[in-house]
């Protein structure tokens, strides 16, 4: 059983890697199952043992990224922390750096933007839960609709992350990008643009 599980995991990893590399090279819409199995070095029957079509493989890849990220974010989203710790941004960007091609495929909108929407929705929903729970735990009343704040946060992370992943060398240091986003979250765009608070 363990050997079978390892074989299944290995085959799915080969299919994932083939999908990602081909999507980045040719674009997802141009790919066929035949292209994917040739790149992965597996047979068509093997592919169909795991997935009914390339869309299900794509969805599996996107959900795997989201699930893994959510697992990593769980211990760093303490709602009792006062203010914004920056740990979620740090975790997100380091996860993306470890899985750069996966994130590039999703954030570019390959798969008719489905993965990008799923990822942005997952980030936005998770952020909203944390923002609401933190406000409740600390007894503060938000000044604006937290749904908007959460979506703005998710959109900001999505945009900056894609820009960073696609930047030509030498791209900005990861620590610098994270620190900038943390300060932006703590102090706002007005402060970041050089203006003093009124």
Q: What local confidence, expressed as pLDDT, does residue 79 receive?
A: 62
Q: What local confidence, expressed as pLDDT, does residue 187 receive?
A: 85
Q: What local confidence, expressed as pLDDT, does residue 54 receive?
A: 96
Q: Which residues of 73-84 are buried (b: 16+ CB within 10 A; e: fewer)?
A: beeebeeeeeeb
Grade residue 186 by pLDDT with cuts at 50, 70 and 90: confident
**Rounded to an integer, what distance in angstroms lies between the CA atom of residue 93 and that of residue 178?**
7
Write the pLDDT tens digit of every residue in 119-133.
999 999 988 988 898
Segment 55-84 shows an average pLDDT of 86
**Rounded to an integer, what distance in angstroms lies between the CA atom of residue 65 and that of residue 87?**
18
Write the pLDDT tens digit of every residue in 83-133.
667 888 899 999 999 999 999 999 999 999 999 999 999 999 988 988 898
Q: What are the C-alpha distances in Å from 11 to residues 20, 79, 140? A: 14, 39, 50
**Rounded to an integer, what distance in angstroms lies between the CA atom of residue 145 and that of residue 133?**
14
CB atoms within 10 A of CB 61: 22
pLDDT > 70 fraction of the chain, expressed in percent and rounded: 94
Three-class DSSP labels, 120-164: HHHHHHHHHHHHHHHHHHHCCCCCCCHHHHHHHHHHHHHHHHHHH
Grade residue 175 by pLDDT with cuts at 50, 70 and 90: very high
């Amino acid at each position: 059983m363990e050997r079978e599980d390892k074989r299944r995991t290995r085959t799915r990893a080969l299919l994932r890697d083939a999908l990602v590399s081909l999507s980045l090279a040719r674009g997802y819409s141009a790919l066929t199952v035949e292209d994917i199995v040739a790149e992965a070095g597996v047979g068509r029957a093997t592919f169909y043992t795991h997935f009914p079509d390339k869309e299900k493989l794509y969805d599996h890849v996107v959900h795997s990224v989201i699930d893994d990220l959510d697992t990593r974010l769980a211990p760093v989203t303490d709602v009792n922390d006062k203010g914004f710790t920056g740990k979620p941004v740090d975790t997100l960007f380091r996860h993306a750096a470890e899985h750069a091609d996966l994130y590039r495929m999703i954030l570019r909108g390959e798969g008719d933007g489905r993965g990008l929407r799923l990822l942005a929705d997952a980030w936005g929903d998770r952020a909203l839960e944390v923002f609401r729970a933190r406000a409740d735990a600390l007894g503060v009343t938000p000044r604006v609709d937290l749904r908007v704040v959460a979506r703005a946060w998710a959109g900001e992370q999505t945009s900056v992350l894609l820009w960073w992943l696609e930047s030509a060398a030498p791209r900005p240091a990861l620590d610098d990008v994270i620190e900038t986003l943390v300060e932006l979250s703590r102090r706002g765009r007005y402060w970041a643009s050089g203006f003093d608070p009124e």
